[in-house]
C-alpha cells in the first residue's frame, strides 16, 4: 500500500559544481549539521554519499559543518564536492568548547582518572566531554544555524539504508512534531550518576515546565511506572540515540531548555561525570515536549556502530529500496537492550516498525 506522506514534487538531479550557485529545492529552512574532526573526512564522505543518494539529491538542503579547530582546505573541497546543496563551515568559539571557570579542574582530573580506570567508555577523555557539552548546550547557538528552523544531525561513518522519498522536515512541521529519532537505548549508568537527581531538582523548581502530555513514563523504571516527578521516580536510562536527530532548533532555543542546560552545566556533571548529549536531549524532549511531538522514523534504515535497525515490513523494503546488511530479526528495535518497546507503549507503533 502506498504511504501517505507530504511528498514534494520530484525534480531532476542536477549537479552544480560551484557550491555558491546551488539552488535549494526543498521548501524548509533546514540544514544537515555535522560536528566533525578533519581526520574523519572519509567517514564524513561515507555519510554524505548515502544521505545524498537516498534523500537529498532531490532537495539540495545545505550542509553545515562545525569544528573546534579550522577545517582543512581538503576537508572543505571534498565535502563540498559531495553535497548537492550549499556547504558552510563554522569554527566553534572557545567559550563553547572549554572547561568553564566554576569547574574545579583538580576534581575533574581525579574523576576522569577514576572513570578511565573503571573502563567507563570515553571516561578519561576531555575532548569527548567538550563534545557532549557542546551538543547539549551550544550547537544551536552557532551563528551559521541562525538562518534555520530545522536540523538533521549526521555523524561520520553511519549507514543509511532506505530511500526517503518525502521531506522529513516538512513531514515534522506539517504533522506538528518537533523531534525525530531512529534508535532508542539505555545509557551507561556510570556516565550519569547524578544527571537524574539534578533533573529532579530542576523540575521541582519549575514544575510548570513539564508538558501536560509529556513522555515521563518512557523515562521511568518498571517499578516506578505511573509515578509523578514529586515521588522522585527512578530513571531507566532510556534515551534517543542522538547521533541521529531530525528536529526543530526551537526545542533547544527555548529559554526553558537553556535554563535546564545552565542548571546542568552549573552542577558540573559534564566534567565530573561524563553526561552525554543523548540523555540530556532526550530527558528534555521527553519532559518538555508532548509525546505527539516526538517521532520515531520507523521508515528509516540506520546504522551507527555498534547498532543498526531497519523497517520491518517487506513491502516497505521494496518501496524504499532498503539494503539492510543484516538479518531483519537482528534489527535493534527487537533487541532486548532496545528501549523501543517502552516508546511504543506510550506512543503507539508507526507504519514501518
Kindly list the catalytic residues: 245
Residue 277 near residue 135 (C-beta atoms within 8 A): yes
- Identify whether the C-beta of residue 156 lies closer than 8 Å to the C-beta of residue 44: yes
Select 68 or 350, whichever has its Cβ closest to ligand GDP: 68
Kindly give the pairing relationship between strand 150-153 and strand 159-160. unpaired
Residues in the site for Mn ion, rule: CB under 5 A? 155, 243
| Residue 155 interacting with ligand GDP (CB under 6 A) | yes
Q: Which CB, 34 or 216, lies closer to Mn ion?
A: 34
Q: By CB under 6 A, is residue 245 in contact with ligand GDP?
A: no
Please select the residue that binds ligand GDP; options are 25, 36, 112, 220, rule is CB under 6 A: 36
Query: Of ligand GDP, Mn ion, none, which one does residue 67 interact with (CB within 5 to 8 Å by kind)?
Result: ligand GDP
Binding characters for ligand GDP, 49-88, by CB under 6 A (x = yes) = ------------------xx--------------------
- The C-alpha cell at 235 is 530513571
x/- contact string, 198-237, with ligand GDP (CB under 6 A)? ----------------------------------------
Q: Which is nearer to Mn ion, 155 or 245 (CB)?
A: 155
Q: What does the alpha-carbon distance between residue 20 and residue 32 come to, in Å, rounded to a whole number?
A: 17
Nearer to Mn ion, 122 or 260 (CB): 122
What are φ and ψ of residue 88, in 5° steps? -135, 150
Q: How far is the CB of 204 from Mn ion (least distance, A)?
A: 34
Q: Residues 300, 241: contact at Cβ < 8 Å? A: no
Using CA atoms, how far apart are residues 261 and 133, in angstroms rounded to an integer? 9
Q: Is the dihedral of CA 238, 242, 245, 247 positive or negative?
A: positive
Could you say whether residue 35 binds ligand GDP (CB under 6 A)? yes
**What cell does 144 get?**
551559521
Interface with ligand GDP in residues 289-318 (CB under 6 A): none
**C-alpha dihedral sign at 141, 35, 282, 123:** negative
Q: If binding is defined by CB under 6 A, does position 40 make contact with ligand GDP?
A: yes
Instruction: Report the C-alpha gap between 75 and 61 in whole angstroms.
Output: 19
Asked whether position 131 contacts ligand GDP by CB under 6 A, the answer is yes
Cβ proximity to Mn ion, 294 vs 303, nearer residue? 303
Sign of CA dihedral 226, 231, 237, 239: positive
By CB under 6 A, residue 243 contacts ligand GDP:
yes
| Helix pair 277-288, 195-205: axis angle to 10 deg | 30
The option from ligand GDP, Mn ion, none interacting with 127 (CB < 5 to 8 A, set by class) reads: ligand GDP
Where does this chain touch ligand GDP (CB under 6 A) — which range of 29-37, 158-166, 169-177, 249-257? 29-37
DSSP class per residue in 128-189: HHHHHHHHHHTGGGSGGGTT-SEEEE--TT-EE-S---S-HHHHHHHTT--EEES-EEEPPG
Q: Which is nearer to ligand GDP, 127 or 213 (CB)?
A: 127
Helix (H) or strand (E) holding 79: helix 73-82
Size of the site for ligand GDP (CB under 6 A): 11
Rounded-to-integer distance, Cα 213 and Cα 20, Å: 44
Cβ 67 to Mn ion shortest distance, Å = 15
Name the binder of 273 from Mn ion, ligand GDP, none, CB < 5-8 A by kind.
none
Tell me whether residue 281 or residue 319 sits nearer to Mn ion (CB atom).
281
Residue 167, C-alpha cell as written in the block: 521531506
Other CB atoms within a 10 A radius of the CB of residue 272 amount to 19
Return the residue of 27, 72, 118, 127 that touches ligand GDP, per CB under 6 A. 127
Q: What angle do CA 163, 176, 85 make, to 5 degrees?
A: 45
Given Mn ion, ligand GDP, none, residue 247, with its beta carbon under 5 to 8 Å by kind, binds none
Q: How far is the CB of 265 from Mn ion (least distance, A)?
A: 22
DSSP E strand stretches across 197-244 = 238-240
Residues that bind ligand GDP (CB under 6 A): 35-37, 40, 67-68, 127, 131, 155-156, 243
Amino acid at each position: 500500500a502506498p504511504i501517505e506522506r507530504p511528498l514534494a514534487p520530484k525534480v531532476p538531479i542536477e549537479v552544480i559544481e560551484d557550491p555558491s550557485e546551488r539552488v535549494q529545492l526543498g521548501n524548509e529552512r533546514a540544514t544537515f549539521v555535522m560536528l566533525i574532526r578533519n581526520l574523519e573526512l572519509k567517514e564524513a564522505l561515507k555519510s554524505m554519499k548515502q544521505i545524498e543518494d537516498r534523500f537529498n539529491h532531490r532537495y539540495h538542503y545545505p550542509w553545515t559543518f562545525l569544528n573546534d579547530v579550522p577545517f582543512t582546505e581538503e576537508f572543505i573541497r571534498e565535502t563540498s564536492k559531495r553535497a548537492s546543496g550549499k556547504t558552510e563551515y563554522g569554527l566553534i568559539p572557545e567559550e563553547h568548547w572549554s572547561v568553564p571557570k566554576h569547574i574545579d579542574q583538580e576534581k575533574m582530573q581525579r574523576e576522569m582518572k577514576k572513570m578511565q580506570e573503571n573502563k567507563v567508555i570515553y571516561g578519561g577523555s576531555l575532548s569527548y566531554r567538550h563534545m557532549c557539552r557542546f551538543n547539549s548546550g551550544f550547537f544551536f547557538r552557532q551563528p551559521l544555524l541562525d538562518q534555520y528552523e530545522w536540523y538533521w544531525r549526521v555523524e561520520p561513518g553511519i549507514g543509511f539504508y532506505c530511500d526517503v522519498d518525502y521531506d522529513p522536515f516538512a513531514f515534522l512541521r506539517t504533522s506538528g512534531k518537533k523531534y525525530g529519532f531512529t534508535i532508542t537505548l539505555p545509557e551507561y549508568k556510570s556516565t550519569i550518576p547524578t544527571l537524574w537527581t539534578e533533573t529532579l531538582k530542576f523540575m521541582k523548581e519549575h514544575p510548570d515546565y513539564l508538558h501536560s502530555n509529556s513522555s515521563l513514563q518512557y523515562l521511568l523504571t518498571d517499578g516506578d511506572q505511573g509515578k509523578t516527578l514529586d515521588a522522585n521516580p527512578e530513571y531507566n536510562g532510556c534515551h534517543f540515540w542522538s547521533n541521529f536527530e531530525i528536529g526543530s532548533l526551537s526545542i533547544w532555543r527555548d529559554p526553558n531548555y537553556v535554563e535546564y542546560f545552565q542548571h546542568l552545566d552549573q552542577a558540573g556533571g559534564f566534567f565530573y561525570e561524563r553526561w552525554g548529549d543523548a540523555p540530556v536531549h532526550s530527558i528534555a524532549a521527553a519532559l518538555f515536549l508532548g509525546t505527539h511531538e516526538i517521532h520515531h522514523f520507523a521508515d528509516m534504515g540506520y546504522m551507527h556502530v555498534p547498532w543498526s535497525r531497519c523497517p520491518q515490513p517487506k513491502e516497505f523494503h521494496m518501496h524504499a529500496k532498503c539494503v539492510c546488511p543484516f538479518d531483519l530479526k537482528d534489527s535493534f528495535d527487537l533487541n532486548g537492550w532496545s528501549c523501543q518497546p517502552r516508546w511504543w507503549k506510550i506512543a503507539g507503533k508507526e507504519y514501518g516498525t
